[in-house]
Amino acid sequence: MKFSKIVLSMGLLASSLFANEFINYDNLSKSLKDDAKKNGLYATTDEVKMALKEKDWAVVDVRTAEEWAGAFIKGSQRVGRQTPEVAIENFVTDDDGKLIKDKIIVVCNSAARASIEAQTFRQMGFKTVKIYDLYSWIDECNPVVTKYTVKNDRSGTGLNFGEYYAEHCKK
């Protein structure tokens, strides 16, 4: 009985030591976003617009399929949340697997997921990796595109699909 208590105590002590190193999602993404801002790796809207036109840049979106369908930046590519490091190869490499777009801007709603995925993309060898939040794009009166159709969303605007602007931009 005494031995099992010692083993249990050691297990609890060891797990508490590891638990002290755990960083929750909110703290991790906030820390990474703050670092990106401090180091000039938080893209501006003008930088996103420039990247959409440049051949060596890719603008990739790491949001879910549902979020993407609701609103996305025209010209960006969705790589999603599940294995974006695999999906991104479709947009940044040539047929021989050579990297042709070595600079990327990673987008999500608030840049939280983007900041975490940016770490992976940096480790993959991208020369420049910046993050950006879709909220800024929308708030600055830039259009978003929707994939919803009249068949999937009966509350929409009939057959008028395409680019949309935030309500405050219509004034």
**Spatial contact of 126 and 104, defined as CB atoms under 8 Å apart:** yes
Q: Which whole-number Å values give the CA distances from 38 to 31, 42, 120, 122, 139, in the listed order?
A: 11, 8, 19, 17, 22
Question: What's the whole-number mean pLDDT along residues 70-81?
Answer: 90
Kindly report the average pLDDT of the chain as a whole number.
84
Residue 94 has pLDDT above 60, yes or no: yes
* CATH number given to 40-170: 3.40.250.10
Q: What are the tens digits of pLDDT across the range 41-62?
A: 999 999 999 999 999 999 999 9
Q: Which of 108, 89, 111 is nearest to 100 (CA)?
A: 89
d(CA 110, CA 92): 24
> How do residues 95-108 score in pLDDT, each as one tens digit?
888 889 999 999 99
Give the global pTM: 0.80
